[in-house]
């Protein structure tokens, strides 16, 4: 049995170690360079995301992805004419090689497109027959795959959807006819939906479920990521603060102690009424990070009031799976940057041209992301990062 003196010595040593670790963490944070003047007070640029505008630091490298327009998954590819021709040829070869149940070419319909400076092609193929019961009667159904590509100078647009009716090929052709280059759209006045380099002019079919994701990185601060996510036509779901509170109750004490809540409140940004959650995170490796979120739940039947979610995180390792790193921005700097970005989010103003009304949703209804699903919005989450846990805690933990 150990003597009382030895036990007291061990307790003193353990307490001393804990104090030393805490001092090291505080020192690491104090040594974080305060770059508020360079980032938060620097020049900003305006980016169009869906039906919204946001101001970002001029150095931000912006990527627009996750486009869903008119019931089609839409992506943009900046590329050369040669690369586009190669991709178009591969698409045609794949469509031509697809066989139906009789072993014949499954191409059902195709159309070559030409709209001003844009040219492309749409194909309907891969017929799939199925039987089902409806009121005791056997019914037959046919589904098709629809795929298309459209070429603008220096950028291509690809769109596709599976399990569609044959008429959807014509709908995709009409959607392509509504596309124009963003620089040619008069985008700040003309109503429509921004996809990045291109712009879908209103009105267009099945607009009620449009969505898009913007992500931005700061080259001088690789641990900082910014994401803006817009999705119209979502089912009603608990808000950001309610989801966070419910998930926090289930966390063990050691995890709750790692988080400091800096803000937890309703926030109004221009006409957007949403909720804000700002957390400071002490990681197991003694680094400090920040997670800042603003979310508007939106209205189910209004494309101008979608589920809108903005996130800024710092202290995230740019290497996927890497351990969290010390935030390159001090608390004051990151809060100042966050406030400048968050307060800039606004509905893109349009002129007197036609503006889509709120309408009853039809096909392609989308649900709020399922409980427990953690989207890779930042694309930088770490399995060992408590800040990565914040996303699963507050973004999508919406079970009842």
Lowest mean pLDDT among 10-14, 119-123, 295-299, 362-366: 362-366
Q: Could you give the C-alpha distances from 6 to 13, 18, 19, 357, 394, in angstroms and in order?
A: 10, 18, 20, 77, 46
Enumerate the CATH 3.40.1000.10 domain ranges in the chain, comma separated: 31-65+212-395
**β partners of residue 67:** 74
Query: Rounded to two decimals, what is the model's pTM?
Result: 0.79
Q: How many CB atoms lie within 10 A of CB 15?
A: 10
The mean of the pLDDT values for the chain is: 81
| The pLDDT of residue 367 is above 70 | no
| The pLDDT of residue 9 is above 80 | no
The pLDDT value given to residue 65: 93
Mean pLDDT of 337-345: 97
The pLDDT value given to residue 388: 59
Mean pLDDT of 56-76: 95
What is the DSSP code string of 300-335? TT-TTS-EEEEEEEES--SSTTPPP---SS-HHHHH
Higher pLDDT: 100 or 62? It is 62
Percentage of the chain lying above the pLDDT 90 cut: 60
Three-state DSSP state, 266: strand
What's the order of all strands across the beta sheet hosting 179-181?
179-181, 198-201, 192-194
Burial (CB count <10 Å: 0-12, 13-18, 19+), residue 88: middle
pLDDT, one tens digit per residue, over 102-129 is 778 889 999 999 999 999 999 999 998 8
The pLDDT value given to residue 14: 40
CATH number of 31-65+212-395: 3.40.1000.10
């Amino acid at each position: 049995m150990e003597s009382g003196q030895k036990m007291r010595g061990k307790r003193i040593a353990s307490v001393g170690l804990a104090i030393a670790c805490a001092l090291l963490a505080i020192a690491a944070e104090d040594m974080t360079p305060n770059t508020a003047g360079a980032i938060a007070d620097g020049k900003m640029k305006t980016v169009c995301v869906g039906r919204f505008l946001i101001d970002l630091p001029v150095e931000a490298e912006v990527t627009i992805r996750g486009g869903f327009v008119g019931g089609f998954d839409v992506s943009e590819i900046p590329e050369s004419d040669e690369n586009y021709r190669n991709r178009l040829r591969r698409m045609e070869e794949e469509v031509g090689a697809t066989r139906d149940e009789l072993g014949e070419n499954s191409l059902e319909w195709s159309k070559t497109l030409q709209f001003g400076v844009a040219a492309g092609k749409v194909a309907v193929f891969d017929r799939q027959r199925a039987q089902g019961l409806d009121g005791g009667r056997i019914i037959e159904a046919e589904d098709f795959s629809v795929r298309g590509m459209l070429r603008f100078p220096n950028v291509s647009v690809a769109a596709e959807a599976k399990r569609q009716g044959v008429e959807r090929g014509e709908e995709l052709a009409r959607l392509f006819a509504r596309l124009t280059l963003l620089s040619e759209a008069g985008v700040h006045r003309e109503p429509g939906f921004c996809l990045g380099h291109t712009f879908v002019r209103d009105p267009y079919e099945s607009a009620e479920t449009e969505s898009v994701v913007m992500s931005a990185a700061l080259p001088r601060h690789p641990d900082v990521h910014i994401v803006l996510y817009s999705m119209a036509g979502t089912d009603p779901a608990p808000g950001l603060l309610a989801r966070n509170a419910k998930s926090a109750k289930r966390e063990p004490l050691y995890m709750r102690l790692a988080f400091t809540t800096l803000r937890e409140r309703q926030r109004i940004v221009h006409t957007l009424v949403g909720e804000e959650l700002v957390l400071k995170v002490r990681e197991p490796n003694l680094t400090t990070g920040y997670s800042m979120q603003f979310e508007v739940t939106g209205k189910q039947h209004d494309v101008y009031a979608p589920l809108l979610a903005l996130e800024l995180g710092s202290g995230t390792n740019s290497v996927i799976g890497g351990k969290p790193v010390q935030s390159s921005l001090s608390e004051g700097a990151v809060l100042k940057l966050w406030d400048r970005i968050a307060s800039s989010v606004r509905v893109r103003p349009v002129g007197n041209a036609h503006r889509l009304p709120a309408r009853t949703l039809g096909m392609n209804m989308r649900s709020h992301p399922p409980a427990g699903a953690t989207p890779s919005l930042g694309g930088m989450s770490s399995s060992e990062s408590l800040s990565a846990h914040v996303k699963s805690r507050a973004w999508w933990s919406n079970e009842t």
